[in-house]
Amino acid sequence: MKNLSRAATSCQNKELAFVRKGLFLATLTGVIFCWDGIVLKKGLLTEPFNSPALWLLAPLFAAGFHDLSAAVMSAVINFRQGKIREIERTLLSKPGKLCILGACFGAPLGMGGYLMSLSLAGPAYTLPITTLYPAMAAVLARIFLKEHISPRGACGLVLCVIGAFAIGWTPPPGGGSGPAFYAGIAFAFLAAFGWAAEGVCVTSSMDFIEPGVALNVYQIISSLLYFTIIIPIAYASLVLHGVGIEAPAELAGAFLSSPALISFALAGFIGCLSYRCWYAGMNMTGVSRAMALNVTYALWGVLFSVFFAEVTITENLVLGALGIFAGIILVVGNPREMINLRAAAEA
């Protein structure tokens, strides 16, 4: 009996260690992802991407290059793990079509809106608002998948909305206000919706597809959407509105020779690493706990923006970020269960 008891205790300790590692990875993904926005913003401040005439085209090009870099990194990892052939098979499968649909939401609305918001409002304001995506995903799942929202989750949704409006209500002091700032806030909400719709589609597909492969499929489709449809449409829109920009070949040359590409590529690698840590965290500790820790990127983004992006932090920004963070925890899970490691190990 003693031997059985020791074996059970040893097994449980290993499970707890496994869960703790998952919690660490889920927290790490939040820390990593906040740097994605800060690095992207640095690139958008570099010529020619900081040109007012390119306010629409530059962020969308950056988003496309970001996803292309992430797709290359994911493909290298899948190749090393012997999963590269799964990508082609996934693209032709029914679950793969859900990944493609998710990319159609995530590329133009999610990542595109995210980059537009970073360009116009900055990471300190963009990151907290985009953490609304789990709450929006819960609402979409309620509408289209008929999933139940508990009273606790409903309270969390209300808290998220209050926090988001607190952030967007007061612009940063000393400049940055005006129509451009509020347009950036609107794009942040659009990004949250795009990522929520993407999440509903891709999560359904991952019942049948290995997460790393699903992520790579999403990144490939997203890159193709940007460079074959979204970016050409953005360029044509600027031309039709009489914006004086260079010929396509000259503009492409200016973009491709800019040192900003290093920032966009680095951000793509950071984003890919963050997503892979997140998937591992969800697998090891559960979706609710991983998601609650993932959205801490908003708090990390506000903190790091103070030191590295020269952002003035307002009281509304801090209170709003804390409100969204608390609301998301209520939406995605029971706080008592999320901190109970033994229950997680036994789940």
Average pLDDT, the chain: 79
User: Does residue 11 form part of some domain?
Assistant: no
pLDDT of 154 reads: 75
Residue 91 or 66, more confident: 66
Per-residue pLDDT band at 190 (split at 50, 70, 90): very high
pLDDT of residue 267: 94
Over residues 291-335, the pLDDT tens digits come to 666 777 777 777 777 776 666 667 777 787 788 778 777 766 655
Full domain range(s) for residue 168: 24-346
Percent with pLDDT over 70 in the chain: 77
Cα atoms in the Cβ-side hemisphere of radius 13 Å centred on 279: 17
- Residue 160 CB partners (closer than 8 Å, separation 6+): 132, 135, 323, 324, 327, 328, 331
204-220 pLDDT, tens digit each = 776 688 878 888 998 99
Average pLDDT over residues 25-52: 86
Written as six digits, the tokens of 316 are 């509304």
Q: What is the mean pLDDT of residues 39-45?
A: 89
Number of alpha carbons in the 13 Å side-chain half-sphere of residue 235? 17
Instruction: Flag whether pLDDT at 103 surpasses 90.
Output: no
Q: What is the pTM of this model?
A: 0.78
Residue 303 lies in a domain: yes
pLDDT of 340 strictly over 80: no
Is 153 a domain residue?
yes
Q: What is the pLDDT of residue 150?
A: 74
When mean pLDDT is compared across 136-140, 314-318, 338-342, the lowest value belongs to 338-342
Answer yes or no: is 48 within a domain: yes
pLDDT at position 214? 84
The tally of domains found in the chain comes to: 1
Residue 181: inside a domain: yes
Establish if 1 belongs to a structural domain: no
Angle CA 283–290–77, to nearest 5: 50
With beta carbons less than 8 A apart as the criterion, state whether 340 and 147 touch.
no
Pick from 172-181, 184-193, 325-334, 336-345: least confident: 336-345
Backbone torsions φ then ψ of 329, nearest 5 degrees: -60, -40
Domain assignment present for 9: no
Section 2-6 average pLDDT: 54
Whether residue 5 lies inside any domain: the answer is no
